[in-house]
Amino acid sequence: MLTAFLVAYPLTALFFSGLGVLDAAFLIWRVISLGVPLVLGALSLIAWKIELARR
């Protein structure tokens, strides 16, 4: 999985090159691959802080 990500991710670095559907797919891939881990991490951090505050 990590190898596939490391191979595919650089291919999405230069989106908006006029390929239409591929541009949209590349943009969605980058947003999801960067945004989802950040959101999940932030939610975990918030839940952890709330749990600490209850103690």
Over residues 9-23, the mean pLDDT reads: 62
Residue with the bigger pLDDT between 43 and 32: it is: 43
The domain segmentation of the chain, as residue ranges, is: 19-55
Over residues 24-45, the mean pLDDT reads: 88
The whole-model pTM stands at 0.54
As a whole number of angstroms, the distance between CA 46 and CA 38 comes to 12
Residue with the bigger pLDDT between 55 and 10: it is: 55
Q: Is the pLDDT of residue 15 over 60?
A: no
pLDDT score at 52: 95
11: pLDDT confidence band, cut at 50, 70 and 90? Answer: low
Burial class for 35, CB neighbours closer than 10 Å (0-12, 13-18, 19+): exposed
